[in-house]
Amino acid sequence: MSAARLDGKACAEDLEQRLKQRIAECLVQPHLAVIIVGDDPASHVYVNNKIRSCERLGIRSTHIELPEDTDESVVAEHIRSMNAQEDLHGILIQSPLPNHMDEESLTELIDPRKDVDGFHPVNLGRLVQGRSDGMVPCTPSGVMEMLRWANVDLRGKKAVVLGRSFNVGMPQALLLAARGADATVTVVHSRTNNPQAECLQADVLVAAVGRPEMVKPDWVKEGAVVVDVGINRVEDSTRERGWRLAGDVHPDVASVASLVSPVPGGVGPMTVAMLMANTVTAAEQLTLS
Ligand code: NAP
């Protein structure tokens, strides 16, 4: 068997088409602000992708770049002022922040209605409650959208989520187990006794561990659907730049699975598309409230 490709790029393009219609009907131009602190090259690439996506869709964007040694109070002041700005609907703080900053406290300062990353405790709490009126974190909601787009029926299926971070693994598990999706979910983490045995049970496996190509073919059940969230830089002397991107799933898994998302071109574009969707939703809701 050679798995079909779960094409996140194509799914994101479809979603963008639907978003363009919503943006055209929105009473205001949606406006996203991105704050980035420091010079982590990967973070700058992610932010530039987000800004480019805004430009493509006609979403206004404000890009605030601050030096590594910025005091936390400066970021807090930006957030407070953005909370009060009526013509601004989404606020995103690019992760990771420098070590001297408390990311959780800063996230809690964001007005939950403008929390387009979905990381504010109010929004994560609504997700736990199964409510549909919160902002849902972009990566796991992007995975759900990809699975819907590919007509993967989750009802009664066994899903395994590899990773339990607050931004990917845990919200992913909640979304898969939520009413309507109805999968039966196992969460695997670094203290799990036998991660391979757990993964082998999965009809749907979502890998979000940050360990390059950790999921090998003998971790995957024949015909399973495998979603690779991982983005890892690995050394590669055959490339001019000396590195390549690798997922958390080994490419040979395609010989066992029925559907696999590629890296790049899988979950990455969906994460950005869901951020755009959250920004449009925030603009729609804030203009109605
Ligand atoms: P994270 O916060 O570092 O969490 C990693 C999780 O994996 C933790 O729960 C950890 O368990 C678990 N883990 C680590 N090593 C393990 C092992 N050997 N066996 C079992 N579990 C293990 O990372 P994250 O933010 O969730 O991101 C995960 C990956 O997704 C990274 O490669 C990241 O770059 C990528 N990512 C991609 C996107 C996208 O748009 N495509 C978005 C976000 C993240 P413990 O909790 O026990 O430590």
Token look-up 């980035």 returns 36
Sign of CA dihedral 70, 105, 40, 44: negative
Once rounded to an integer, what is the mean pLDDT over residues 155-173? 98
pLDDT at residue 205 in the model: 99
With pLDDT > 90 as the criterion, what percentage of the chain qualifies? 99
Q: Which pLDDT value is given to residue 252?
A: 98
Number of domains present in the structure of the chain: 2
Q: Over the stretch 196-233, which tens digit does the pLDDT of each residue have? A: 999 999 999 999 999 999 999 999 999 999 999 999 99
Place of tokens 């800063």: 106
Model confidence at 125: pLDDT above 90: yes
- Per-residue model confidence as pLDDT tens digits over 43-88: 999 999 999 999 999 999 999 999 999 999 999 999 999 999 999 9
CA distance 167 to 4: 27
Same domain? 97 vs 203: no
Pairing of strands 184-188, 204-207: unpaired
Distance CA 272, CA 138 (A): 7
163 CA → ligand 1 middle, Å: 5
Query: What is the span of the domain harbouring residue 58?
Result: 28-111
Residues 51, 222: Cα–Cα separation, whole Å? 40
pLDDT at 177: 98
Instruction: Provide the pLDDT for residue 282.
Output: 98
For residue 219, give the CATH number of its domain: 3.40.50.720
Q: What is the model's pLDDT at position 288?
A: 87
Same domain, 150 and 196: yes
Bridge partners of residue 244, in order along the sequence: 234
Q: Say what angle helices 138-149 and 8-25 make with each other, to 10 degrees.
A: 100
Q: Which atom of ligand 1 is nearest to the CA of 142?
A: 40
Substitution site in 161, 168, 186 for ligand 1 pocket (most atoms within 8 Å of beta carbon): 168
Q: From CA 136, how far away is CA 170, in angstroms rounded?
A: 12
CB of 161 sitting under 6 A from ligand 1: no
Q: Is 216 a catalytic residue?
A: no
Q: Which of 9, 49, 103, 190 to mutate for ligand 1's pocket (most ligand atoms within 8 Å of CB)?
A: 190
At 13-48, the pLDDT tens digits run 999 999 999 999 999 999 999 999 999 999 999 999
Distance from the alpha carbon of residue 95 to the mean position of ligand 1, in angstroms:
14
- Please indicate, yes or no, whether residues 34 and 84 belong to a single structural domain of this protein: yes
List the one residue out of 63, 64, 57 whose CA is nearest residue 30: 57
Q: Check if 20 is active-site.
A: no
Please provide the average confidence, as pLDDT, over all residues in the chain. 97
Last residue of some domain: 111, 128, 163? Answer: 111
Q: Is residue 16 part of a domain?
A: no
With 0.95 as the threshold, say if the pTM is over it.
Answer: yes
User: Apex CA 115: angle with CA 139 and CA 41, to 5°?
Assistant: 55
Residues 145 and 260 in one domain: yes
> 166 C-alpha vs ligand 1 centroid, how far in Å?
10
pLDDT tens track for 232-289: 999 999 999 999 999 999 999 999 999 999 999 999 999 999 999 999 999 999 998 7
Residue 130 tokens read as 């199964």
| Other beta carbons within 10 Å of 100 | 11
Q: Is residue 276 part of a domain?
A: no
Question: Given its phi and psi angles, is residue 67 left (phi above 0), alpha (psi -120 to 50 degrees) or beta?
Answer: beta
Q: Identify whether 94 is a catalytic site residue.
A: yes
